Structure 1
Amino acid sequence: MNYRFQNLLGAPFRGGNAVITQNTQLISPVGNRVSITDLLKSKTLTLPIQSSSNICRLAVSPNGTFLLTVDDNNRSLFINIPRHVVLHRIKFKYPVYALQFSPDSHLIAVATGKLIQIYRAPGFKKEVFAFELVKTFADCDVKVTALNWSPDSMYLLAGSKDLTVRLFSVDVENTKHKKKPFLFLGHRDSIVGCFFGVDVKNNNRVNKVYTITRDGFISSWRYGEISSNDGNVGEIVGVNSEPDSPGTPDRDGDGTLVKRRKEFDGKDSNLRENKGYLDGVKWELLRKDGFNQLPAKLTACDYHRELDMVVVGFTNGVFGLYQMPDFVCLHLLSISRERITTAVFNEVGNWLAFGCAKLGQLLVWEWRSESYVLKQQGHYFDGNCLAYSADSQLLATGADDNKVKVWTVSSGFCFVTFSEHTNAVTALHFMANNHCLLSASLDGTVRAWDLFRYRNFRTFTTPSSRQFVSLAADQSGEVICAGTLDSFEIFVWSMKTGRLLDVLSGHEGPVHGLMFSNINGVLASSSWDKTVRLWDVYGGKAAVETFSHTHDVLTVVYRPDGKQLASSTLDGQIHFWDPIDGLLMYTIEGRRDIAGGRLMTDRRSAANSSSGKCFTTLCYSADGSYILAGGSSKFICMYDVADQVLLRRFQITHNLSLDGVLDFLNSKNMTQAGPLDLIDDDNSDAEEGVDKQSRRTLGYELPGAMPNRGRPIVRTKCVRIAPTGRSFAAATTEGVLVYSIDESFIFDPSDLDIDVTPEAIDAALNEDQQNRALILSLRLNEDSLIKKCIFAVSPLDVPAVASSIPYRYMQRLIEALSDLLESCPHLEFILRWCQELCKVHGNSIQQNSRNLLPALKSLQKALTRIHQDLADTCSSNEYMLRYLCSLGTKK
Structure 2
Amino acid sequence: MNFRFQNLLGAPYRGGNAIISGDSLLISPIGNRVSITDLINSQTQTLPCQTSSNIARIAASPDARFLIAIDDNSRLLFINLRRRVVLHRMSFKKPVSAIAFSPDGSLVAVGVGKLVQIWRSPGFKKEFFPFQLVRTFADCQGAVTSLDWSPDSEYLLAGSKDLAVRLFCLKNFSGVSSKPFLFLGHRDSIVGAFFRLDKKFNNKVCGVYTISRNGSIFVWNYMGGDGGSGDFGKEVSEPPAPGTPEQRAGGVSDENVGDEVYTELGKRKKIDALIGEEESEVPLHRGKWELSKKNSFDQTPAKLTACDYHRGLDLVVAGFSNGVFGLYQMPDFVCIHLLSISKEKITTAVFNRLGNWLSFGCAKLGQLLVWEWRSESYVLKQQGHYFDVNCVAYSPDSQLLATGADDNKIKVWTVSSGFCFVTFSEHTNAVTALHFMPNNNCLLSASLDGTIRAWDLFRYRNFRTFTTPSSRQFVSLASDQSGEVICAGTLDSFEIFVWSMKTGRLLDVLSGHEGPVHGLMFSPSNAILASSSWDKTVRLWDVFEGKGAVETFPHTHDVLTSVYRPDGKQLACSTLDGQIHFWDPLDGVLMYTIEGRRDIAGGRLMTDRRSAANSSSGKFFTSLCYSADGSYILAGGNSKYICMYDVSDQVLLRRFQITNNLSLDGVLDFLNSKNMTEAGPLDLIDDDNSDEDEGISKQTRGKLGYDLPGSIPNRGRPVIRTKCLRIAPTGRSWAAATTEGVLIYAIDDSFVFDPTDLDIDVTPEAVDAALNEDQYQMALLLSLRLNEDFLIKKCTLAVQPADIPAVASSVPFRYLQRLLEAFSDLMENCPHLEFILRWCQELCKTHGQLIQQNSRSLLPALRSLQKVITRLHQDLSDTCSFNEYSLRYLCSTSHKS
| TM-score relative to the length of structure 1 | 0.94
Task: Output one character per residue of 1:589-616: Cα deviation in whole Å (capped at 9) or x when no partner.
Answer: 0000001110011010000000110000
Q: Amino acid of the residue matched to residue 683 of structure 1?
A: N
Q: Amino acid of the residue matched to residue 455 of structure 1?
A: R
568, 591, 594: which one pairs with 2:574?
568
CA positional deviation for 1:776: 2.5
Distance 1:214 1:535 in 2: 64
Contact conserved, 1:87 with 1:126, CA < 8 A, in 2? no
Distance 2:700 2:143 in 1: 25
Q: Amino acid of the residue matched to residue 782 of structure 2?
A: L
Pairs within 5 Å for 1:363-402: 363-402=369-408
Unmatched 5+ stretches in structure 1: 235-249, 887-891
Q: 1:603 and 1:207, CA in 2 relative to 1: closer, same or farther beyond 3 A?
A: same
CA positional deviation for 1:675: 2.2
Pairs within 5 Å for 1:389-538: 389-538=395-544
287, 306, 316: which one pairs with 2:322?
316
Distance 2:360 2:780 in 1: 53
Distance 1:651 1:445 in 2: 35
Distance 1:502 1:373 in 2: 49
Counterpart for residue 195 of structure 1: 194
Distance 1:376 1:231 in 2: 56
Counterpart for residue 273 of structure 2: none
Counterpart for residue 272 of structure 2: none
Contact conserved, 1:222 with 1:286, CA < 8 A, in 2? yes
Q: Amino acid of the residue matched to residue 396 of structure 2?
A: A
Contact conserved, 2:215 with 2:299, CA < 8 A, in 1? yes
Distance 2:606 2:489 in 1: 35
Check if 1:186 corresponds to 2:185: yes
Q: 1:508 and 1:676, CA in 2 relative to 1: closer, same or farther beyond 3 A?
A: same
Counterpart for residue 291 of structure 1: 297
Of stretches 523-532 and 773-782 in structure 1, the one that deviates more from structure 2 is 773-782
Distance 2:772 2:422 in 1: 53
- Partner of 1:349, secondary structure, is coil
Counterpart for residue 672 of structure 2: 666
CA positional deviation for 1:878: 1.8
Q: 1:695 and 1:836, CA in 2 relative to 1: closer, same or farther beyond 3 A?
A: closer
Contact conserved, 1:316 with 1:338, CA < 8 A, in 2? yes
Distance 2:228 2:814 in 1: 87
Task: Output one character per residue of 1:613-636: Cα deviation in whole Å (capped at 9) or x when no partner.
Answer: 000000000000000000000000
Distance 1:659 1:43 in 2: 31
Counterpart for residue 204 of structure 2: 205
Distance 2:82 2:591 in 1: 49
Contact conserved, 1:47 with 1:84, CA < 8 A, in 2? yes
Q: Amino acid of the residue matched to residue 30 of structure 1?
A: I
Q: Amino acid of the residue matched to residue 309 of structure 2?
A: Y
Q: 1:478 and 1:261, CA in 2 relative to 1: closer, same or farther beyond 3 A?
A: closer
- Partner of 1:264, secondary structure, is coil
Counterpart for residue 12 of structure 1: 12
Contact conserved, 2:176 with 2:229, CA < 8 A, in 1? no
Q: 1:765 and 1:578, CA in 2 relative to 1: closer, same or farther beyond 3 A?
A: same
Distance 1:122 1:129 in 2: 9
Contact conserved, 2:159 with 2:192, CA < 8 A, in 1? yes
Q: Amino acid of the residue matched to residue 383 of structure 2?
A: Q
Of stretches 411-420 and 739-748 in structure 1, the one that deviates more from structure 2 is 739-748
Task: Output one character per residue of 1:130-165: Cα deviation in whole Å (capped at 9) or x when no partner.
Answer: 111111100011111111001111111111111111
CA positional deviation for 1:313: 0.3
Counterpart for residue 156 of structure 1: 156
Check if 1:98 corresponds to 2:98: yes
Contact conserved, 1:622 with 1:721, CA < 8 A, in 2? yes
Pairs within 5 Å for 1:704-783: 706-742=712-748, 744-783=750-789
Q: Amino acid of the residue matched to residue 214 of structure 2?
A: D
Q: 1:584 and 1:287, CA in 2 relative to 1: closer, same or farther beyond 3 A?
A: same
Counterpart for residue 795 of structure 1: 801
Contact conserved, 1:230 with 1:279, CA < 8 A, in 2? no
CA positional deviation for 1:832: 0.5
CA positional deviation for 1:519: 0.8
Contact conserved, 2:175 with 2:230, CA < 8 A, in 1? no
Check if 1:43 corresponds to 2:43: yes
Q: 1:38 and 1:743, CA in 2 relative to 1: closer, same or farther beyond 3 A?
A: farther
CA positional deviation for 1:476: 0.6
Q: 1:864 and 1:262, CA in 2 relative to 1: closer, same or farther beyond 3 A?
A: closer
CA positional deviation for 1:259: 7.8
Q: 1:885 and 1:675, CA in 2 relative to 1: closer, same or farther beyond 3 A?
A: same
Q: 1:591 and 1:200, CA in 2 relative to 1: closer, same or farther beyond 3 A?
A: same
Contact conserved, 2:542 with 2:550, CA < 8 A, in 1? yes
Q: Amino acid of the residue matched to residue 632 of structure 1?
A: N
Contact conserved, 1:428 with 1:437, CA < 8 A, in 2? yes
CA positional deviation for 1:509: 0.3
Task: Output one character per residue of 1:337-360: Cα deviation in whole Å (capped at 9) or x when no partner.
Answer: 000000000000000000000000
Contact conserved, 1:102 with 1:108, CA < 8 A, in 2? yes
Contact conserved, 2:579 with 2:593, CA < 8 A, in 1? yes
Q: Amino acid of the residue matched to residue 18 of structure 2?
A: A
Check if 1:845 corresponds to 2:851: yes
Contact conserved, 2:382 with 2:420, CA < 8 A, in 1? yes
Unmatched 5+ stretches in structure 2: 261-278, 893-897
Q: 1:695 and 1:859, CA in 2 relative to 1: closer, same or farther beyond 3 A?
A: closer
Task: Output one character per residue of 1:240-266: Cα deviation in whole Å (capped at 9) or x when no partner.
Answer: xxxxxxxxxx999x9599986689224
Q: CA RMSD in A?
A: 2.5
Check if 1:265 corresponds to 2:252: yes
- Partner of 2:606, secondary structure, is coil
- Partner of 1:710, secondary structure, is coil
Q: 1:276 and 1:228, CA in 2 relative to 1: closer, same or farther beyond 3 A?
A: closer
Distance 1:450 1:613 in 2: 39
Contact conserved, 2:252 with 2:258, CA < 8 A, in 1? no
Contact conserved, 1:317 with 1:334, CA < 8 A, in 2? yes
Check if 1:53 corresponds to 2:82: no
Of stretches 280-289 and 868-877 in structure 1, the one that deviates more from structure 2 is 868-877
Distance 2:674 2:790 in 1: 54
CA positional deviation for 1:679: 2.1
Distance 1:772 1:292 in 2: 78
CA positional deviation for 1:768: 2.2
CA positional deviation for 1:668: 2.1
Q: 1:589 and 1:693, CA in 2 relative to 1: closer, same or farther beyond 3 A?
A: closer
Q: Amino acid of the residue matched to residue 735 of structure 2?
A: A
- Partner of 2:103, secondary structure, is coil
Pairs within 5 Å for 1:557-706: 557-690=563-696, 699-700=705-706, 706=712
Identity %: 76
Counterpart for residue 237 of structure 1: none
Check if 1:827 corresponds to 2:833: yes
Report the number of matched residues: 871
Distance 1:582 1:817 in 2: 41
Contact conserved, 1:183 with 1:233, CA < 8 A, in 2? no
Contact conserved, 1:628 with 1:639, CA < 8 A, in 2? yes
Q: Amino acid of the residue matched to residue 504 of structure 2?
A: G
Distance 1:462 1:496 in 2: 16
Contact conserved, 2:222 with 2:250, CA < 8 A, in 1? no
Q: Amino acid of the residue matched to residue 776 of structure 1?
A: L
CA positional deviation for 1:484: 0.3
- Partner of 2:387, secondary structure, is coil
Q: 1:231 and 1:514, CA in 2 relative to 1: closer, same or farther beyond 3 A?
A: farther
Distance 2:186 2:889 in 1: 68
CA positional deviation for 1:742: 4.0
Contact conserved, 1:300 with 1:312, CA < 8 A, in 2? yes
Contact conserved, 1:630 with 1:718, CA < 8 A, in 2? yes
Of stretches 383-392 and 734-743 in structure 1, the one that deviates more from structure 2 is 734-743
Q: Amino acid of the residue matched to residue 265 of structure 1?
A: V
Counterpart for residue 238 of structure 1: none
